[in-house]
Structure formats: C-alpha cells, structure tokens
Structure 1
Amino acid sequence: MQNLEDVDDDGSIKEDLIDMRHNRGIQMEFTNSQLDHFWAFHLEAYPVLATKALKVLVPFATTYLCEQGYFCLLHIKTISRNPLNSEHDMRVALSTKTPRFDTIMEKTQQQRSH
C-alpha cells in the first residue's frame, strides 16, 4: 500500500504500517514467509493490524480445506468404492502425515494358508 491516507481507522493502524514500512527486518520476513504465519507471529506486536489481516486471510484457508474435503469425498464415494461410513477413508486421505508402513506391517499378523 503506497498511500496511507486511504486507510480508515483511528490512527493506530497507520502508525503500525509506518513502523513496518521502515523496519527492514520485518520487510524481509514479510517477503520470505507465508502471510498467515507472518501475521500470526506479529499478533502481539501489532494486534489491530494483524487481527484485520488474519480476518481477511483465514476464510480463504478454510474454503480451500472444505473444497479439498469435498473432492476427496467425491472420489471415495464412487461406484467402485462406496462404503457407507467413509470417515476413516476421509481421515487418511486428508491427513498431511505419512503413515509408518513398516510399523503397521510389524503389528499385523500374516494370514496363513490352510
């Protein structure tokens, strides 16, 4: 934002923006980090400004996660794979963690032939 006269507030946001504009460390951090992490980190130092920024950023993150879940459920609920309760499949599909297959394989017992 180049023009601070366009900011509508009681002055605290303008002061915070001027502070941030003249701080080289914050400018470098802003360019090198994700927006939500940057504003969450500076929530204590600039509470009003960071709260306004996070209110704008958070709905996009939640919309994205909702759409990701919907498309995952759509994929799980196909004709070839239609479980009545897809809760466990959804949890595995939406998780960001990688399963430890070696530990899982050690705990399962192999089926013996008759």
Structure 2
Amino acid sequence: MDSFFTKFKTFQNIKLYIDAKDKEKILESKQEIKDYLLGYFKELKNYMDMQAKNKITEEQILEYFRNHPDIRAEFKAKLDYELDHVKKHAPHIVSSWKYYQEFEKMCKLAEQV
C-alpha cells in the first residue's frame, strides 16, 4: 500500500489495517477499490485544504474582540467564571496560555480607559 499513497503526500503517515489477502486483492485486481480510495483521499485533501484556507487564527479572534468591546466584556465575564477554579489552583497553567494573556491585557487596558 505504500506506493498507493505516494500520490498523496499529505497522507504519507496514514495506515490502513487490513488482512494481507485483502491487501493483495486491492493491489492486484480490484481497480474499483483503488479508484474509490483515490477519490476518497482526493476529496479528503480538498476538504483539508478548504479547512486550512478558512481557518480563523488566534490573532483574528483577538482583533475581533478589540473591535467589539461589548462582546469582549461578555466573553471575559464568562471566562472569569469558567476559569475561576483553574486560576486559583493552577495559575501556572493559565499563565502559559499566550493568547489568553493577550486577551487579559486587552481587557485591562480597556478598563483603564
């Protein structure tokens, strides 16, 4: 099957677990199975490409909160409630969250204004 996946570099690490006799059937005689798998992986790659293209970054989320102070305040209140226990008992975890720290700074600056 290794040579089968060389057409899709994205899926080099994918593993199909099948019986040896089924592997031989796929590799030797079942063109429709090969065609189906090739079509499946082509569509999966298209889906993954579309997801990557439409991905929203952390920076975009922070920018959204910068531009929408009412939503930012509402979200901050929810996070304060939900993260209360973690902040009290494992502050080192919260301090390791880079984008959350940026969000907190943004909220503090807004409070000072």
Kindly indicate which of the two structures has a greater share of residues assigned to helix.
2
Q: Which has the higher contact order (CA 8 A, sep 6+)?
A: 2
TM-score by length of 1: 0.28
TM-score by length of 2: 0.28
